[in-house]
Amino acid sequence: MMMMMMRRAHSLLPRTLLSSNVAVAGVVAAEQRFYRGAADRASPPVGQQRCWWLFPPPLVGSRSVTLGVAGALSFSVTFSSAAAEAKEVPKPDLIPENVVLYQYEACPFCNKVKAFLDYHDIPYKVVEVHPLSKKEIKWSDYKKVPILVVDGEQLVDSSDIIENLNHKIRPDNSVVNEEETMWRRWVDEHLVHVLSPNIYRTASEALESFDYIASHGNFSRTERFTVKYAGAAAMYMVSKKLKKKYNINDERAALYEAAETWTKAVGGQEFLGGTKPNLADLAVFGVLRPIRHLQSGKDMVENTGIGEWYQRMEAAVGGSSRIQD
């Protein structure tokens, strides 16, 4: 079945993506072009999915559930109480009253924002956007997610959203930390690009990823089957293109290298931020959190030294502060 879908998706690949000498502006553009090209030709709905990295989110809901499933990445849940105490809750009068996150459950940028909200215990409602119709964000001129509406004000772009929220809850802290800024940029410009080829590395990993996406995204029952198989087939092939584009020979080696680079940056401290996570810790944790149940996440923890930091982050961030409908 997978092979059939892959052959079909391959026959649908736009010429621009099949030709290696065409310069593609970046991973987002490349994948969006692929999806749009395929969407024009394929039966709906998968080809129209435009999120470049639709895949499993962390479990949301109760804190106990989130902590309880930490073992899914094959390391024990024996985090230190010091890490749990690293949680930072703003003064009550600085916490926004009404926060709504428009998201794709599996989007890494959305998960970055959620890591910030969860760590600071800022309650938020979630509106899951349908990736094809996007009817939930028709009201906005901005056509991507995350969008965060904070007491009626629309904020867009994950890094800007976090910047803005951080200023709201820490109005007196205007000092820019260059190291933190540099690592946040590393997350957006490097880490996220390494993740995509990893979760679609093999046919079975692509299926694993899309199985979760299909069951957790805002899809109708009838869309789910197509999303799973055609999405997996399409992204399996796109991931090979991405490897070339980013000069990645071995995607797992690149993932391990990124994990080790980050672990080295944290060094002997609990977090990059010292005894408490800073915005870079939250950004790395946010984008990694969705892959922790996947093969790539398990491999990363088993083969690098990132597991202990990750575990401390899980303890520090705690469970979701999402308000359940």
Ligand X SMILES: N[C@@H](CCC(=O)N[C@@H](CS)C(=O)NCC(=O)O)C(=O)O
- Name the segment binding ligand X (CB under 6 A); options: 118-126, 138-146, 215-223, 236-244: 138-146
- Contacts by 10-17, CB closer than 8 A, 24 or more apart: 10/233, 10/237, 12/37, 12/38, 12/41, 12/42, 12/47, 13/37, 13/38, 13/237, 14/38, 17/238, 17/241
Q: Does 53 bind ligand X (CB under 6 A)?
A: yes
Q: Does 216 bind ligand X (CB under 6 A)?
A: no
CB of 104 to ligand X, least distance (A): 6
107 is known as an active-site residue: yes
Q: Does 163 bind ligand X (CB under 6 A)?
A: no
DSSP string, 125-157: EEEEPPTTT-GGGTT-S--SS-EEEETTEEEES
Among 9, 30, 39, 50, binds ligand X (CB under 6 A): 50
Q: Does 136 bind ligand X (CB under 6 A)?
A: no
Which member of 51, 55, 107, 219 is catalytic? 107
225 is known as an active-site residue: no
3-state percent breakdown (helix, strand, coil) of the chain, nearest 5: 60, 5, 35
**115 or 315: whose CB is closer to ligand X?**
115
Which member of 35, 55, 79, 109 is catalytic? 109
Parallel, antiparallel, or unpaired for β 147-150 and 153-156? Answer: antiparallel
Q: Does 241 bind ligand X (CB under 6 A)?
A: no
The pair phi, psi for residue 127, each rounded to 5°, is: -115, 115
Catalytic positions, please?
A: 104, 107, 109-110
Residues in contact with ligand X by CB under 6 A are: 28, 50-53, 104, 107, 109, 131, 144-146, 157-159
